[in-house]
Amino acid sequence: MPLGCSRLIVFVGLLFVFTGWTVSQDDRTTDHLEGLRENRPIDVVLMNADIIVRPGSLIKNGVIVIRSGMIQRVGDHTIPIPDDLKSIDLAGKTIYPGFIDAFSEQEVSTEAVEAGAAYWNANIRPQLAMADQYQIDDDLNSDLREQGITARLVAPAGGILKGTSCFVLTGQGNLQQSLLNANVAHHARLTVSRRSSRGGTRPAYPNSPMGAVALARQAIIDAKWYSQANRAAKADPLIPKPDTNDALEALQAVISQQSTVIFDTSNELYFLRADRFSREFGLKSILRGSGFEFRRLDAIAKTGRPILLPVNFPAAPNVTSYETALNVSLETLMEWDIAPENPARVAQAGIPFAFCSSGLSSPKDYLKNIRKAVQRGLSANDALSALTITPAQLLNVEKSVGTIAPGKMANLVITDGELFQSETKILETWVRGARFQTKKELSYTIDGDWELKTTDPNGKQLALQVTIEKKSGSLTVPQSRSKKAPQEAKQKKGGKNKTKPGSKDKSAPDDEVKFKKIGIVNARVSALFDSERFGVTGIAQLTFVFSDGNNDLATGYLTWPGGQRVAASIGRDQLDSAANDDQVTQPKIVKKPLSSEDSSQQKSMSSFSVNYPLGAFGVESLPQVETVFIHNVTIWTCGSAGIIQNGAVVLKNGKILAVGEKLDWPTSKETLIIDGKGMHLTPGIIDCHSHMASDGGINESGQAITSEVRIGDFINCNDINLYRQLAGGVTSSNILHGSANPIGGQNQVIKLRWGMLDEDLKFQQAPQGIKFALGENVKRSRDPDSTRYPRTRMGVQQIFMDQFRAAQGYQQQWKRWATSRTGLPPRRNLELEAIVEILEGKRWIHCHSYRQDEILALIRLLDGFDIRIGTFQHILEGYKVADEMKKHGAMGSAFADWWAYKFEVYDAIPYAGALMHDAGVVVSFNSDDRELARHLNHEAAKAVKYGGVPPEEALKFVTLNPAKQLRIEKYVGSIEKGKHADVVLWNGNPLSTLSRCEKTWVDGKRMFDREVDQTLRKKYAEMKRALVQKVLASGEEMNNAPGGRPLKAAEMWPNYDEFCKCKSVNLDK
């Protein structure tokens, strides 16, 4: 009895520790039962498997005890095994913790949200709970389980503050059984779905990424106010309680950091934006990545935010022909080449990350792509962590899932080998103790050599060699093999694959018996052979079944002609694995060649390192600040020194150190010395009206007043136009909101710091500004059905009046609050705040304008509020009221010679610049166009041509004058001591159409150099050629989708003002 005794003790011990575990399945539910009770035994012991209990921790030949769907005990074979449980022998198998899909989305209805006390804008719906609407999709769950996914996060799709996600199991059963956590995190995305084509129906506010961020920002601010206001109302019964609002209620968990916010990001820039947004409001956030993190890995690592990482690697671009390859950019090729290494690089950067299926068209590619990531340098441990423990931790569900440990759910993945080897199969997925065997995908290729073990009609053990090829084959009695000459055996071994089944006849004809017939039905193979060789006349029937989930091993039986049925088993011939065994005859059938994969691993790594921004003309390292001495050059200082013939300039530490007629500068290694003979040096060109380098939509046209919207939230440092414009001498640019609204969004002045990050492009010293617009665009002339206020110039003026009055009121409200601190605290209103900043002289208006009446009307209105305008933009009829502009102090930034594209520019004349200049107005010529910006020096020359502005003054139209207009003339705009070293070297007179920009410095860094460009273009052409070859050699299926590749995030939105039909907007006409 000692044995039984000890068992009992153990059992009691277990009871003691895990009392809760003796409950049966229906003890978990409160559901009413119909019909008969069903109590199938579900508790089980898994035996003899290799168990990876957590990444890096293996139990060889281990045991898992599962009761009520929970893991009761895990250990090696020495742990006691309860004898009341069914056991499953998993010898040769490996068990992993069940995988977690850290992010997926489901469509939701917003009906319930809207029926409640909703936020005014339906995109703000944090009160929406996925758990209330989660729909179980059995087919999807089955697909997920086949990938080893046992649990997943499901987030609501759509919206900006999207609602909360839930965490569900992928097993069968109802919601009550599937739902693990009804509220995992809040979800947000700082963009909206792409609006339909130009002129199509425009969804309501917000209809641009810029608008989305602005709205999210306001909502968070509102939530903070909501709690303050409620507190105030609670403290003082005389203070009215703010209106109930479900959304603001729900956001309390976000602003108090009780709840994590998971942001969707569509590329690396959106990632950084989401991080900034989180920091702005102190949010606890996790970012759902894009797969493009490698493009700016350092910056992303620096945020310290964990990532839910998708593995939807881009498809190979179509480079079949010279013609199709021509249309594929180096950037796309590099993305294809590098993206599979993104997980490895993210891991190497030390960023915590979990895998998610987001973005995959089918979950079936999930494991395949993760294996690809492992092949491309991700360690198996990191990969497994990202599938199991990391998501469990990030999503705060590690108490129940993520590892194989007592007390956790029995979520398991059982494989026939090392998980990340491509031939390894997932045999079973267990979800909360329920076993799901993967549909057998065994192909039962029975070709090759086998060893058949059975007994002859006399009961004598037989070990036969079986060779099968294409449904014919033979049996060989083993004794005969030893007779073979060793030499021959070697020969065969070396001679690779299959010798024809019949070929052995010659050496040992008597030993071989051919099968008469071989058939395969499902997993059953049957064969007939003449049994005479075995001493019985007749036909023997052989049947074996691949029943073990292993296509190298099958068991069955043999029926001899006499009726004796004997057991048989068949396995892959192992003989040739025995070292130096001369008896070995045939090589083993070659499985998926592991070895070749290994050797190709080096080759399959990406070919080129990441440059910034990725693709052609990106920089590998940022240009350094140079010390430059240019002498013997004609300098257009645009300052008081005028034009200096034979001048010299020194650039040092990013500033202009000296400029003059005769300058000496010591020759040293550190100094770049340029003999500027025949060349001209000018200040960097400043474009006072641009829409490049922004991917936030340019126009937020959902409302007539959008002063809360900020271009600065969406600087796109990847825009190739930055480089192209540097090649035209542009060094600073005023990125303006479009002209859709009387009051548009806030502009952002940037420097063209190619290669640097979005935030680094911002011209820090430039004061804030805002776009206003008048005339045809804002009154929606091209849309006869528009019902938006205003529709006339009369209404445009009134909406300004109304807004400035409102801002004054708002200003007063805060002033009162600052002194009294009584009553309901005022709510910060970002829209009015920006207008107040105008009233306070902290924000400059840049107003799109054409006709003289609207110009004058605005001047009068602004005079009434004591506001001085920053600039009038376009200002094509400014020449008619130049005196009034001068009186107000207005500056004008115009087109040089555009006219007649719409009625309000019919009176536009190229002499306008000269007329305004002559009247004493500070005039600049701008581009409003990505192409035109590349030769603004030509535009300046038009001021000489039309109206005879002296050349020196004309050049100021694109240098000093725009600097004055943007209030940055202290720093840039002229070549004067102490100013930023933003200069351009031309090969001739900058006002000549025949001259060319040769070199451009920004902050003393050579951002463009035509000589360097000439070598770069060869380099990038060569890179492209190499990658095209790589795609062709990869054998990957190329993207043949009718629309070409999917849109990149930055391509979703125009980077021009589509409301300003100033020019042909698309040059690809």
- Binders of other proteins among residues 320 to 339 (CB under 8 A) are 322-324, 326-332
Nearer to other proteins, 572 or 724 (CB): 724
Hey, which residues between 848 and 867 contact other proteins (CB under 8 A)? none
Contact yes or no for 397/181 (Cβ under 8 A): yes
Residues 766-785: x/- map of binding to other proteins (CB under 8 A)?
----------x----xx---
682 phi, psi to nearest 5 deg? -130, 165
Instruction: Give yes or no for residue 1055 binding other proteins (CB under 8 A).
Output: yes
Hey, which residues between 1014 and 1033 contact other proteins (CB under 8 A)? 1017, 1020, 1024
- Token pair, residue 393, equals 């931790």
**Distance of alpha carbon 318 from the chain centroid:** 22
Distance CA 948, CA 348 (A): 62
Among 505, 582, 907, 976, the residue binding other proteins under the rule CB under 8 A is 907
Per residue, the 3-state secondary structure of 926-960, as one string, reads CCCCCCHHHHHHHHHHHHHHCCCCCHHHHHHCCCH
Q: Going by DSSP bridges, is the β-strand pair 512-521/524-530 parallel, antiparallel, or unpaired?
A: antiparallel
Nearer to other proteins, 549 or 615 (CB): 615
Q: Which whole-number Å values give the CA distances from 271 to 189, 265, 268, 281, 302, in the listed order?
A: 10, 5, 5, 16, 12
Hey, which residues between 253 and 282 contact other proteins (CB under 8 A)? none
Residues 178-217: x/- map of binding to other proteins (CB under 8 A)?
-------------------xx-------------------
Hey, which residues between 920 and 939 contact other proteins (CB under 8 A)? 930-932, 934-935, 938
Q: Binding segment for other proteins among 49-57, 502-510, 863-871, 908-916 (CB under 8 A)?
A: 908-916
Distance CA 636, CA 578 (A): 85
Residues 725-764: x/- map of binding to other proteins (CB under 8 A)?
--x-------------------------------------
Which residue, 389, 363, 362, 371, is CA-closest to 306? 389
Nearer to other proteins, 560 or 714 (CB): 714
**Distance of alpha carbon 392 from the chain centroid:** 22
Q: How far is the CB of 922 from other proteins (least distance, A)?
A: 17
Contact yes or no for 736/771 (Cβ under 8 A): yes
Q: How far is the CB of 1061 from other proteins (least distance, A)?
A: 6
Among 392, 756, 919, 960, the residue binding other proteins under the rule CB under 8 A is 919
Q: How far is the CB of 1036 from other proteins (least distance, A)?
A: 17
DSSP one-letter string for 695-751: -S-S--TTSSB-TT-BGGGGB-TT-HHHHHHHTTTEEEEEE---SSSSB--B-EEEE
Q: How far is the CB of 1058 from other proteins (least distance, A)?
A: 8
Q: How far is the CB of 949 from other proteins (least distance, A)?
A: 9
Q: Which residue matches tokens 């007592």?
A: 406
Instruction: Give yes or no for residue 691 binding other proteins (CB under 8 A).
Output: no
Among 882, 921, 960, 972, the residue binding other proteins under the rule CB under 8 A is 882
Hey, which residues between 130 and 189 contact other proteins (CB under 8 A)? none
Hey, which residues between 802 and 841 contact other proteins (CB under 8 A)? none
Nearer to other proteins, 351 or 915 (CB): 915
Among 661, 883, 1022, 1036, the residue binding other proteins under the rule CB under 8 A is 883
Q: How far is the CB of 239 from other proteins (least distance, A)?
A: 49
Nearer to other proteins, 817 or 1020 (CB): 1020
Q: How far is the CB of 1022 from other proteins (least distance, A)?
A: 12
Nearer to other proteins, 597 or 1013 (CB): 1013
Instruction: Give yes or no for residue 944 binding other proteins (CB under 8 A).
Output: yes
- The site for other proteins, by CB under 8 A, has a size of 89
Which residue, 1052, 1065, 754, is CA-closest to 928? 1065
Instruction: Give yes or no for residue 496 binding other proteins (CB under 8 A).
Output: no
Distance CA 751, CA 541 (A): 84
Q: How far is the CB of 518 from other proteins (least distance, A)?
A: 46
Q: How far is the CB of 611 from other proteins (least distance, A)?
A: 12
Q: Is 1004 helix (H, G, I), strand (E, B) or coil?
A: coil
- Exposed/middle/buried for residue 1040 (C-beta within 10 Å: 0-12, 13-18, 19+): exposed
Among 373, 711, 941, 983, the residue binding other proteins under the rule CB under 8 A is 941
Q: How far is the CB of 1019 from other proteins (least distance, A)?
A: 11
Instruction: Write 490-495 long-range contacts (CB < 8 A, 24+).
Output: 490/582, 492/585, 492/586, 492/587, 493/576, 493/584, 493/585, 493/586, 493/587
Instruction: Give yes or no for residue 12 binding other proteins (CB under 8 A).
Output: no
Instruction: Give yes or no for residue 620 binding other proteins (CB under 8 A).
Output: no
Question: Which amino acid, one-letter code, is at 771?
Answer: K
- Exposed/middle/buried for residue 40 (C-beta within 10 Å: 0-12, 13-18, 19+): exposed
Hey, which residues between 597 and 616 contact other proteins (CB under 8 A)? 615-616
Q: How far is the CB of 498 from other proteins (least distance, A)?
A: 42
Hey, which residues between 65 and 124 contact other proteins (CB under 8 A)? none
Residues 957-996: x/- map of binding to other proteins (CB under 8 A)?
----------------------------------xxxxxx
Q: How far is the CB of 326 from other proteins (least distance, A)?
A: 6
Among 880, 956, 980, 1005, the residue binding other proteins under the rule CB under 8 A is 880
Which residue, 147, 671, 59, is CA-closest to 365? 147
Nearer to other proteins, 428 or 695 (CB): 695
Q: How far is the CB of 250 from other proteins (least distance, A)?
A: 35
Q: Which residue matches tokens 């080129």?
A: 608
Among 521, 818, 900, 1033, the residue binding other proteins under the rule CB under 8 A is 900
Question: Which amino acid, one-letter code, is at 62?
Answer: G
DSSP one-letter string for 829-887: -HHHHHHHHHHTTSEEEEEEE-SHHHHHHHHHHHHHTT---SEEEE-TTGGGSHHHHHH
Which residue, 856, 864, 861, 863, is CA-closest to 872? 856
Nearer to other proteins, 226 or 612 (CB): 612
- Exposed/middle/buried for residue 593 (C-beta within 10 Å: 0-12, 13-18, 19+): exposed
Instruction: Give yes or no for residue 897 binding other proteins (CB under 8 A).
Output: yes
Among 720, 836, 857, 958, the residue binding other proteins under the rule CB under 8 A is 720
Distance CA 318, CA 314 (A): 12
Q: Which helix (H) or strand (E) is 331 found in, with range?
A: helix 330-338
What's the chain's length in residues?
1069
Which residue, 260, 261, 171, is CA-closest to 216? 261
Among 78, 609, 640, 1066, the residue binding other proteins under the rule CB under 8 A is 1066
Nearer to other proteins, 9 or 1021 (CB): 1021
